[in-house]
Amino acid sequence: MNTPQDSSLGREVAYPSHYDPALLFPIPRRAAREEIGVDEAHLPFVGHDRWQAYELSWLDRRGKPRVAVATVSVPCTSPNLIESKSFKLYLNSLNSTRFDDDEQARQRIAGDLSACAGAVVNVVFGVPPLVDGAEGESLDELDVAIERYGPPAPEYLSANAGQVVTETLSSALLKSNCPVTGQPDWASVSVRYRGPRIDREGLLRYLVSYREHAEFHEQCVERIFNEITQRCQPEWLEVEARYTRRGGLDINPWRASAGIEAPARTVREIRQ
């Protein structure tokens, strides 16, 4: 089984000069899901990991460079997530590769990523529109004292069973760390739900408790979804984190209760 420690993360590696899909490094999702009590065979959510790749280039059939921005959607049902540094190295390996046209390049990328993830990965070229902050009510100006920055503290989560609401709460204060390199990962997160009214101060304290936690982006979002579900018992729930860019890539995991449709459009926030 591949582990993060087996990947190129935290290691000095040569800049790829030739196309090489073997650079892509899959990490099985199963172990991280077992840690939070999620059964791989009966996932309590639907969702995807949406990547936005801003440093993408190849050559046309006559050797002239082409550039693009790609939106990549990996289904959460895929057995593997794609390790980010390997993704960057793979994209760099396309820089000197010739394709007959843009569609051939897109299909090659989609095919290679699908093979790594173990499921069909969707790839679209084009720059996502920019939005100014997450939707919903921001928690970030709440006047609260915070003293815990890790590990994640689900005991902060609670809800008022006597008050059922439908709302979206957001925060730009989510931070976690790469489990291999220790580098910080910054994100805005939105929590949309229907159910007992979630205590806002508790939710903010809970999100900030990820500040020194070491876990991949996708795994953090699944943990947030699972712990809000267990502690607050919403009728339905949707969690999305939009992480800032590193190495020309940003990752935007989205998880939701069964039956919730994916966001209608792909966007990027001002920090992305």
For the annotated binding site, the residues are 82-85, 217-218, 246-247
Residue ranges of the annotated binding site for NADPH are 84-85, 246-247
Give the span between the Cα atoms of 225 and 212, in whole angstroms.
19
- The dihedral of CA 20, 116, 215, 232: what is its sign? positive
From the list 49, 76, 116, 178, the catalytic residue is 178
Q: Is 78 helix (H, G, I), strand (E, B) or coil?
A: coil
- By CB atoms closer than 10 A (0-12, 13-18, 19+), residue 103 is exposed
Residue 198: φ, ψ to 5°: -75, 135
Q: What tokens does 28 get?
A: 């099985």
Give every CB contact of residue 59 below 8 A, 6+ residues apart in sequence: 65, 66, 95, 96, 97, 98, 99
The amino acid occupying position 212 is E
Q: Which of 49, 112, 185, 250 is catalytic?
A: 185
Using N-to-C axis directions, what is the helix angle for 200-208 and 217-232, rounded to 10°?
Answer: 150
For the question of residue 185 being annotated catalytic, the response is yes
Q: Residue 164: beta bridge partners?
A: 196
- Kindly state the helix (H) or strand (E) to which residue 166 belongs, with its residue range: strand 159-177
- Single out the residue of 269, 251, 249, 252 nearest to residue 54, CA to CA: 249
CA dihedral 268, 68, 15, 111 (to 10 degrees): 90
Dihedral angle computed from the Cα positions of residues 29, 133, 113 and 65, in that order, rounded to the nearest 10 degrees: -160
CB neighbour list of residue 1: distance below 8 Å, 6 or more residues apart: 28, 31
Annotated binding site for substrate: 82-84, 217-218
Does the annotation count 132 as an active-site position?
Answer: no
Active site residues: 178, 185
